[in-house]
Structure 1
Amino acid sequence: MTHRQQPIGTGFTAASTVDDVLAGIDLTGKNIIVTGGHSGLGLVTTRALTAAGASVTVGSRDTERAAAAVAGIERVEVSRLDLMDPASIDAFVARYLESGRPLHILINNAGYPAPAEIVRDARGYEAQLATNHLGHFQLTLGLHPALQAADGARVVTTTSGAQRMSDILWDDPNFTGGGYHPGLAYAQSKTANVLFTVELDRRWADEGIRAFAAHPGVIATTSFNSAVGVAAQRAQGLIDEAGEPIIDPEHGKKNEAQGAATIVFGATSPLLAGRGGLYLNNSDVSQLDDDQPAPTAEEVTADVVSHSVDPKSAERLWHLTEQLLKEGSAK
């Protein structure tokens, strides 16, 4: 299988921050949507993009909480969006399209923290797959007209190095037959993010819409990592004995400004012009590495693996997603 996963020598490093990757970039007049743009990496991303001149729409299930979080940030509006509710997604899309604004950048960032016991949406779909992949798929396709109107747009989906740990569970992606494990469900959803990126770029690149999947690194303060508990965080090398986050970007452990850098890099960097369908890491294109060992408490592996960028799997997932959305709408 041929692939395009080769670092391009951006000059950035694992320690680079959002300010580093945005230096000299003017986003005045650009319209951006950031799902979950009111907390964690999303909030850092929102602040950085607006500081560079962009207007940002934050999609959030809890609009009051989101509005409080972004209060005082210029050129930010909040719009209700529940990625597990197809009707909420359609309503969000309709509001945006009715505004008549082109959409220059869509950042699919929101995620569902891995629950210890399986959670399902109203359609019976596993919550992480439903939120992290199915909801963002529906959202992106709905916003296609606004992305087209931008005359050059990008779609960035936040993924994870966990994509290394599982391919799509093709026979039972929603764990209807049992065997649920929160980490496995998370890994599947993150692989889906990358495969979606590959196929989206193949389908829309000729329209000037390019897609990237961004791995931010491991950030101890995110809801996903905080949810595992203090003991597990210590065992994973994410916090020290005093409970403080361990920041070691060269080994994959970053603060939020460093983690959001790769997301913002994918969304804005001119170094990616003419490229797309790529998994990004450390504000560069990731190498393909199927031999990298599993993550340890000292080293968090994060390069992309073959099953996450396989074009045949990407097309297969696209069709499976369309099928799941169609079946879900009939329930």
Structure 2
Amino acid sequence: MTTAQRPLPSGFGPASTAEDVITGIDLTGKVAIVTGGYSGIGLETARVLRAAGAEVVVPARDLERAKAALKDMPGVEIEHLDLMDPASIDDFAATFLATGRPLHILVNSAGIMATPLARDARGDESQFATNHLGHFQLVARLWPALVAAGGARVVAVSSRGFRFSPVVFDDLHFEHRPYEPFAAYGQSKTANALFAVELDRRGRVDGVRAFAVHPGTIIDTGLAKHVSADVVRAAGAVDDEGRPVRDPARQFKTIPQGAATGVWCAASPQLAGLGGVYCENSDISPLVPASGEAGWRAGTETAGVLEYAVDPEAAARLWEVSERLTA
């Protein structure tokens, strides 16, 4: 498979923080939207982009919680958005477009993980609907503002969790197979990575580039609230006392370290002219060859992305399916 999955190298690494990767970058005059920008790595992303001079908009399902989380960030705008509600997505986009502003940076950081089976109003499985389809619809509706920027970047927060499942096109919403929370999560994270591939292919002529990122394992963001303590401990994410493990070389990161790759993709001049790639540790990830897949799956420390998560044919198919599902 022809791919651009080759590390630069960037000079950054697993322990780099969001502040490290944005040092010296001035975002004055730029406009950024960060979904999930009021908790976890989304909150840190919003903070760092704002500190670099960007105008930052944070869409939120829970407005009061967002206001409390962002109270120390003057100038950050908060608007209502529920990624499980198509009408809410349209309303948010219409409100933003009415301001007439271009959109230079869109970071799709909001997400859910390993939740019990639930469906949105259209009958779509909730992890696929929230993590992928909601963001797909948001990008489509905000497209005029992205094009107007004359050089925009869309960052899809994926995960090494893509290893749990490819996109199962024959049964996206677990209508004919038993529901497994991590398989559903993995499918949605693969969808995030594929989305960046096809979005970049379609958008580059208009100056819109796209990237997918693996933040690392950051256990204290609240994302794992549906995961049992035994599973978290078995994954090595907490120690025997239940405290988060911090070992960035093995992908166990702090929130500032977890936000680094997304911020790097959103703002770094090192990525000028590039796009459609999956990134981690603030660099482009290498492609894992089929011969090395078993070894890659066995550990947590080796960087890389599996072929099915960046396959251009699967990415194009997913785009067409997503268009139909979101009308």
TM-score by length of 1: 0.95
Contact 2:114 2:224 in 1 (8 A): no
Cα deviations across residues 70-92 of structure 1 (Å, max 9, x unaligned)?
A: 01202201110100100000000
> Does residue 273 of structure 2 align to residue 274 of structure 1?
yes
Aligned to 2:73: 73
Aligned to 1:233: 232
Aligned to 1:305: 306
Cα deviations across residues 207-254 of structure 1 (Å, max 9, x unaligned)?
A: 111000011011111223343132222111111122211000001111
- Gapped runs of 5+ residues in structure 1? 327-331
Aligned to 2:17: 17
- Classify 1:155/1:253 alpha carbon distance in 2 versus 1 (closer, same or farther; 3 Å): same
Aligned to 2:77, the other structure's residue is in SS state strand
Contact 2:288 2:296 in 1 (8 A): no
The one-letter amino acid paired with 2:17 is: T
Contact 1:219 1:225 in 2 (8 A): no
The one-letter amino acid paired with 1:242 is: E
> Structure 2 matches for 1:152-301, cutoff 5 A?
152-290=151-289, 291-292=292-293, 293=295, 295=297, 299=300
Contact 1:253 1:300 in 2 (8 A): no
**Quick one: distance in 2 between partners of 1:67 and 1:83?**
18
TM-score by length of 2: 0.96
Deviation, structure 1 residue 17: 0.3
- Gapped runs of 5+ residues in structure 2? none
Contact 1:164 1:302 in 2 (8 A): no
Aligned to 1:96: 96
**Quick one: distance in 2 between partners of 1:163 and 1:302?**
13
Identity %: 53
**Quick one: distance in 2 between partners of 1:250 and 1:300?**
6
Aligned to 1:157, the other structure's residue is in SS state strand
Residues paired across the two proteins, number: 324
Deviation, structure 1 residue 164: 2.4
Contact 1:215 1:281 in 2 (8 A): yes
> Structure 2 matches for 1:27-176, cutoff 5 A?
27-115=27-115, 117-176=116-175
Cα deviations across residues 134-163 of structure 1 (Å, max 9, x unaligned)?
A: 000000011010011111100001000111
Aligned to 2:232, the other structure's residue is in SS state helix
Contact 1:113 1:223 in 2 (8 A): no
Contact 1:198 1:211 in 2 (8 A): yes
Contact 2:111 2:131 in 1 (8 A): yes
Cα deviations across residues 106-157 of structure 1 (Å, max 9, x unaligned)?
A: 0011002321x31111111100000000000000011010011111100001
The one-letter amino acid paired with 1:53 is: G
What root-mean-square deviation, in Å, do the aligned CA atoms of Structure 1 and Structure 2 show? 1.3
**Quick one: distance in 2 between partners of 1:227 and 1:175?**
19
Aligned to 1:171, the other structure's residue is in SS state helix
**Quick one: distance in 2 between partners of 1:2 and 1:177?**
34
The one-letter amino acid paired with 2:262 is: I
